[in-house]
Structure 1
Amino acid sequence: MVRWICVLVLSLTLAVPAGAEMRVPESRVEISMGFVPVVKEAAPAVVNIYARRVVNTRSSPFRGDPFFDEFFRDFSGARPRVENSLGSGVILSADGIVVSNYHVVGMATDIRVVLNDRREFEARVLLSDEESDLAILKLEGAEGMPALELRDSDTVEVGELVLAIGNPFGVGQTVTSGIVSGLARSGAATGNARGYFIQTDAPINPGNSGGALVDIEGRLVGINTRILSRSGGSNGIGFAIPAALVAQFVAQAEAGNTAFERPWAGISGQPVTADMAEGMGLNVPGGIIISQLHPASPFAAAGFQAGDVITAVDGQAVNAAPEMIYRMSVAGIGGETRVTRVRDGAAEDVVLRLGAAPEVPPRDVTETGARSVIPGMTVGNINPAVIAELDLPLMAEGVVVLEPGRAGLRAGLRQGDILRGINGAAVEVPGMVEPMLEASGRWLSLDVQRGTQRSTLRFRL
């Protein structure tokens, strides 16, 4: 009995090339090879990335002081400093399209990519997105590159064997093995990345970022992005961005986009809890209950109402807003998605046409002049596109600070602040801001909304 159990376990860990038939290993040589065939297939397409950027930093004797740092931050001279980052990437096409993490190559001025066979290429960023923590690169002068096949990540199941390939700690290309230990992890990763992640217990360490998570047929199922750790090392919980989203990034990069465009939902809501489920006619808690809809939302156009529950998108269950946005992002702008709605206990599938957040009304961007009380401040109308970009309240209206400028920052203004009034008069359009500032006497009063909080800033001129 023990012998047959051992044979079964070994048969599961034996890697096979794409298209090959899974079978019990027939010899000691086959058993000893382990994951060798899949590593030989996948490793040449995983690259090391060395990125560099120059940033201007200010040195101050009060740096870090909770009181004086705020007042003296603009008085010290800016000094250029070189920041280096080390990570991994995956080649996806023979002509040198590479995917990596935004936190590896974002804002880099110099990117060098080193292949498994030690060839080196300069690279440039085609498209990047901080929120998704993905970036698409193009190797200069590359042709005939080894590339990985993308697998439909919706077919990945918990318990599948996977390999993580990357360059941890800069020691060189390294392969670790494990299983898929969780799916639909939203909000679990650290940093700026938000959305839906594949969780794995394959050891992932600093430097693995941007590397490949592959199945036992050598197909890419995800891009390693983060670890959950208190010590900074792998504790058995790593996160990968699914290949389905990577495919959408590649499609937009090849279409000429330089920034990732995700469909706009135009709704707000909250997860359905166990206490709420019974009153909504749900057998089990799950889904998102809609609390607000913007008038321009595609959900509003499809007949959704506040109180409706969204339980699935394209047949995949959703229990949090990041999961829903992920599903919509995979479908892409201009595509259609099938949303399962529950209203009064009855479930119904509704087809939505997806699009970007509309630029209506026009932004009408205006910048204050050099002689203004607050020079160099840029303001504009609030529209759905601005709401999405600046993460404003869904139903926000009015005039928003797009860039406060140095004087605006010193005055306490921040990007995303909504200007409700100047010296007691309501601000209705961007063009009113500069004349109202010029009309200030000895005092300036700004009525500002930040998020859901309102406050008044007063200054003596």
Structure 2
Amino acid sequence: MIRALFLTFFLALPWHVQADTQIPESQAQISLSFAPLVKQAAPAVVNIYAKRIVQARASSPFASDPFFENFFGGLAPSRPQVQNSLGSGVILSRDGYVVSNYHVVGMATDIRVVLKDRREFSAEVVLGDEASDLAILRLKDGEDLPFLTLRDSNTVEVGELALAIGNPFGVGQTVSSGIISGLARSGKITGKTRGYFMQTDAPINPGNSGGALIGMDGALIGVNTAIVTRSGGSNGIGFAIPAAMVEQFVRQARSGESQFQRPWAGMGGQTVDADLAASLGLARPGGMAITQLQEGSPFGIVGLHVGDVITSVNGLEVNSPSEMLYHMTIAGIESEINVAAVQDGIEKAYTVALIGPPDLPARNEITFDEDDILPLLRLSNVNPAVLAEFQLPILPDGVVVLDTGPIGPRIGLQRGDILREINGAEISAPRDVQRAFSKARRSVSMVVERGGQLVLLRFRL
């Protein structure tokens, strides 16, 4: 009887009483609606339209025949073409500093940024890095702009709610929700991008690149960068660059750096799996084993050795070389980090002073004359600064190609290649290349190291 009376009373209520809503005013209420959070954050997320000039090779009449394409395809003349890209960005300061992905704005000749309120600004890249896939732009005449604050990425936990804001497929600013699915996703995600990422299941699609991943406090926790997909659309596996890395980029951009600077480790390492843990006498897998140490490495200076296992940096777990580099990078050059490592079965603590890659020994650069076998080819000795510039693995010695000259690409030579042999003669210094070329008569056979593999290049004189 009481239940029937209550149901009758409820149904008799005016419709506007039943549908009454309120604007959330507390954190608990916000968790029930994202609307206030979106209103706060969305104005700082922008659409980016970028143009770049690329040299596109005209189609060859032999393009349909793989055999003849190998011989004649490279003879087709190249023509400049305009390539357009669409992405997103996040305003990080009132005076117009914006973060986006390098693959959106890198090498762009014209960049247009459109705010949510439809204001438009031209912009220029002040600091970009292809390996990290991050770029910092500065809006021209930008002032008193909406912006997002950065949250300490180390406070982000798996399971947290997150919102992705961007411009997927160019349909306009869009908000999608999800959670933080994983942390410390390291390695190569796409293209040349290597790093340390957060994973989210918030739907991310083409056009979201460079957009914001925000937490429930409205602060930026990451920059959406890539997805794992087979169809071209979101499958719920997206990756974002942590805000701590973005903060380091902004700091260097404001200090006037034109190239992103990473601390030098002078160290190689590998993840400790179950087999390696057993061979090292460790109780369980975990950490990064040191496999190489260059002379002068700041880690070697404090007493670390090959075979030691680094387990944490500044109290944060380390399990791979990518994680190690990430923690060093967000700390920055001229800072100190606290390192925990296992040495001979004993856990020890070290304080390591981070430095930039030294430009020693001397590069001894040479540039070939215009009438040489490979005109205007520019070479250098390998040293830590050169390795860092070309993102090369640790090499004890070698000669690196700084500039291929006009003929180099035709024979397959690439910038960043390490020359190992020419016509059977070992190459250890730039002058060795000159001597080998002077002895060449009818043909040249070159062995170069590229991406950890040896490549044979041959051409006739």
Change (3 A) 1:442 1:342: same
Change (3 A) 1:124 1:65: farther
Measure, in 1, the Cα distance between the counterparts of 2:382 and 2:411.
22
One-letter amino acid of the counterpart of residue 227, structure 1: I
Q: Deviations over 1:171-197 (max 9, x none)?
A: 111111111111111136323221111
Whether the 8 Å contact between 1:15 and 1:217 is mirrored in structure 2 is no
- Structure 1 residue 306: Cα displacement: 0.8
Aligned residues: percent identity? 58
Counterpart in the other structure of 1:285:
285
Change (3 A) 1:453 1:113: closer
- Structure 1 residue 428: Cα displacement: 4.6
Counterpart in the other structure of 2:153:
153
- Structure 1 residue 265: Cα displacement: 1.5
- Structure 1 residue 421: Cα displacement: 4.7
Change (3 A) 1:439 1:113: same
1:281-320 equivalences in 2 (<5 Å): 281-320=281-320
Whether the 8 Å contact between 2:382 and 2:395 is mirrored in structure 1 is no
Counterpart in the other structure of 2:212:
212
- Structure 1 residue 449: Cα displacement: 4.7
Change (3 A) 1:453 1:174: closer
The yes-or-no answer on 1:45 pairing with 2:44 is yes
Counterpart in the other structure of 1:256:
256
Counterpart in the other structure of 2:414:
414
Whether the 8 Å contact between 1:94 and 1:143 is mirrored in structure 2 is yes
**Higher CA-based Rg:** 2
Moved more, 377-386 or 86-95: 377-386
Moved more, 358-367 or 55-64: 55-64
Q: Deviations over 1:191-250 (max 9, x none)?
A: 322111111111111111111011112111000111111111111111111000000000
1:210-359 equivalences in 2 (<5 Å): 210-359=210-359
Change (3 A) 1:70 1:304: farther
The yes-or-no answer on 1:387 pairing with 2:392 is no
The yes-or-no answer on 1:54 pairing with 2:62 is no
- Structure 1 residue 300: Cα displacement: 1.4
Q: Deviations over 1:317-352 (max 9, x none)?
A: 111111111111100111111111101221112111
Moved more, 191-200 or 142-151: 191-200
Measure, in 2, the Cα distance between the counterparts of 1:64 and 1:386.
41
What SS class does the counterpart of residue 185 from structure 1 fall into? strand
Counterpart in the other structure of 2:378:
378
- Structure 1 residue 69: Cα displacement: 3.2
What SS class does the counterpart of residue 194 from structure 1 fall into? strand
What CA RMSD, in Å, does the superposition of the two structures yield over aligned residues?
2.4
Measure, in 2, the Cα distance between the counterparts of 1:362 and 1:15.
65
Measure, in 2, the Cα distance between the counterparts of 1:76 and 1:323.
44
One-letter amino acid of the counterpart of residue 381, structure 1: N
Whether the 8 Å contact between 2:54 and 2:80 is mirrored in structure 1 is yes
What SS class does the counterpart of residue 55 from structure 2 fall into? strand
Whether the 8 Å contact between 2:397 and 2:428 is mirrored in structure 1 is no
Measure, in 2, the Cα distance between the counterparts of 1:379 and 1:386.
11
What SS class does the counterpart of residue 407 from structure 2 fall into? helix
Change (3 A) 1:62 1:327: farther
Counterpart in the other structure of 2:33:
34
One-letter amino acid of the counterpart of residue 266, structure 1: G
Whether the 8 Å contact between 2:375 and 2:405 is mirrored in structure 1 is yes
Measure, in 2, the Cα distance between the counterparts of 1:69 and 1:309.
51
Measure, in 2, the Cα distance between the counterparts of 1:74 and 1:80.
16
Counterpart in the other structure of 1:397:
397
Measure, in 2, the Cα distance between the counterparts of 1:452 and 1:140.
42
- Structure 1 residue 438: Cα displacement: 3.4
Gaps of 5+ in 2: 1-21
- Structure 1 residue 314: Cα displacement: 1.2
Counterpart in the other structure of 1:113:
113
Whether the 8 Å contact between 1:427 and 1:433 is mirrored in structure 2 is yes
Moved more, 159-168 or 445-454: 445-454
Change (3 A) 1:392 1:179: closer
Change (3 A) 1:44 1:420: closer
Whether the 8 Å contact between 1:372 and 1:438 is mirrored in structure 2 is no
What SS class does the counterpart of residue 292 from structure 2 fall into? strand
Counterpart in the other structure of 1:9:
none
The yes-or-no answer on 1:90 pairing with 2:95 is no
Counterpart in the other structure of 1:102:
102
One-letter amino acid of the counterpart of residue 282, structure 1: L
Measure, in 2, the Cα distance between the counterparts of 1:105 and 1:459.
37
What SS class does the counterpart of residue 121 from structure 1 fall into? strand
Counterpart in the other structure of 2:13:
none
Measure, in 2, the Cα distance between the counterparts of 1:422 and 1:35.
63
What SS class does the counterpart of residue 438 from structure 1 fall into? helix
- Structure 1 residue 279: Cα displacement: 4.0
- Structure 1 residue 405: Cα displacement: 2.7
What SS class does the counterpart of residue 189 from structure 1 fall into? strand
1:174-189 equivalences in 2 (<5 Å): 174-187=174-187, 189=189
What TM-score comes out, normalization by structure 2 length?
0.89
Gaps of 5+ in 1: 1-13
Measure, in 2, the Cα distance between the counterparts of 1:383 and 1:213.
38
Counterpart in the other structure of 1:3:
none
Change (3 A) 1:194 1:441: closer
Change (3 A) 1:49 1:391: closer
Moved more, 132-141 or 438-447: 438-447
| Count of residues in Structure 1 that have an aligned counterpart in Structure 2 | 439
Whether the 8 Å contact between 1:58 and 1:73 is mirrored in structure 2 is no
Change (3 A) 1:286 1:424: closer
Q: Deviations over 1:97-148 (max 9, x none)?
A: 0000011101110000000100000000000011111000000001000010
Whether the 8 Å contact between 1:225 and 1:241 is mirrored in structure 2 is yes
- Structure 1 residue 453: Cα displacement: 5.5
One-letter amino acid of the counterpart of residue 69, structure 2: D
Counterpart in the other structure of 2:5:
none
Counterpart in the other structure of 1:203:
203
- Structure 1 residue 391: Cα displacement: 4.2
Counterpart in the other structure of 1:8:
none
